[in-house]
Amino acid sequence: MTVATRIWAVHLAVLALLLAGGFLLPAYHQTNVAKVMVLATYAMGYNIAFGYTGLLSLGHALFFGAGLYGAGMLVQHAGVGAGPAALAGIVAGGLAAAVVGLLALRTQGVAFMIVTLMFAQAGYLTILYNTAWTRGDEGIVIAREARVLMGFDLSADLPRYFVGLGLFAAGLVLKLWLVRSPTGRVMVALRENEERSRMLGYDPYARKLAALVISGLYAGAAGAAYGLLFGYVGASLASTQYSILPLLWVLLGGAGTVLGPLVGALLMFYLIDYSSAFTTASLLVVGAALVLLVLFAPKGILGTLRDRWLKWLP
């Protein structure tokens, strides 16, 4: 088996498992996994910027929020169908990333982190400020009748699961193709040594901007899907915490690995879900996980696996 076949086999097997889950999982877990797949898509986008290109953004909630509100407000206020609204959400995520990137990518490292954080904070406050459109803190609950895609009721368990899976699968395949392409190689080169990449003839600014926009498209798609599948569009989903969570999932699963975001999101989701049975201290779980990861496992689960045994893992 060549490396390429092995790589595709592993990733398609994961998708097959998730597909089987749609038929085998009990309703409660079906909803959870559907949510995890949408959030993992968001995290995959984050990983393209952070894990592969080395752009540690603290402002991705803005892109997620752009997708969420872009789609949600169109459905709610303009009566647009779920399909076009989702497309608009994707575009909104990419646009937000382009605008932020054009400015923020003039900075590097810590300044980049703070600038992205500030832009996202400004976006979050804007949502709170325009209560007439966004209903502020309370958020918009999208009516069930509006959440219909090609005849399927997105609020029902099964269609929701499969739309989530479809989104995730598309994101996964695209990402796998991207990171194994020459473009992906340049992204990694920028992460590893920007000056060297520049002297090989690559424009760091343009390449990083492209990576950030792709990342924003993922975030926008996930945001739009989240709003349409779960029917809630709220400011808390665009708050700083939603910039930190994808970072956490990616760190946990393994930055710069294709499947890491899924592993991280799945584990973290169930860790919080499980721990909430005997403690309400969910923030503690997030905080402790962040600290422990940077201290003891900066490469995350799949990153460590790759270092030790699975050298071929993309």
Q: Is 156 in the site for another protein (CB under 8 A)?
A: no
| 211 closest CA partner among 31, 8, 44 | 44
Specify the residue, 20 or 282, whose C-beta has the smaller distance to another protein.
Answer: 282
Write down the residue that tokens 């945001």 correspond to: 223
| 225 closest CA partner among 66, 89, 120 | 89
Specify the residue, 158 or 272, whose C-beta has the smaller distance to another protein.
Answer: 272
List, in order, residues 6 or more apart from 309 with CB less than 8 Å away. Answer: none
Taking the C-alpha atoms of residue 289 and residue 286, their distance in angstroms, rounded to an integer, is 5
Return the range that interacts with another protein (CB under 8 A); candidates 33-41, 61-69, 103-111, 268-276: 103-111
Specify the residue, 14 or 290, whose C-beta has the smaller distance to another protein.
Answer: 290
Q: Is 107 in the site for another protein (CB under 8 A)?
A: yes
SS3 string, 158-188, reads HHHHHHHHHHHHHHHHHHHHHHCCHHHHHHH
SS3 string, 78-111, reads HCCCHHHHHHHHHHHHHHHHHHHHHHHCCCCHHH
Q: Is 281 in the site for another protein (CB under 8 A)?
A: yes
Scan residues 284-313 and list those touching another protein (CB under 8 A): 284, 286-295, 298
Helix (H) / strand (E) element for 232: namely strand 232-233
Rg of the chain on CA atoms, in Å = 19
Specify the residue, 202 or 270, whose C-beta has the smaller distance to another protein.
Answer: 202
Nearest distance from C-beta of residue 153 to another protein, angstroms: 37
Specify the residue, 144 or 185, whose C-beta has the smaller distance to another protein.
Answer: 185
Taking the C-alpha atoms of residue 75 and residue 262, their distance in angstroms, rounded to an integer, is 29
Scan residues 17-76 and list those touching another protein (CB under 8 A): 56, 58
Q: Is 95 in the site for another protein (CB under 8 A)?
A: no
Scan residues 221-280 and list those touching another protein (CB under 8 A): 244, 247, 251, 280
Rounded to 10 deg, the angle between the 204-230 and 27-47 helix axes is: 160
41, 155, 197, 257: residue in contact with another protein (rule CB under 8 A) = 197
Binding site for another protein (CB under 8 A): 56, 58, 103-104, 106-107, 109-111, 113-115, 118-119, 121-122, 125-126, 128-129, 182, 185-186, 188-189, 192-193, 195-204, 244, 247, 251, 280-284, 286-295, 298
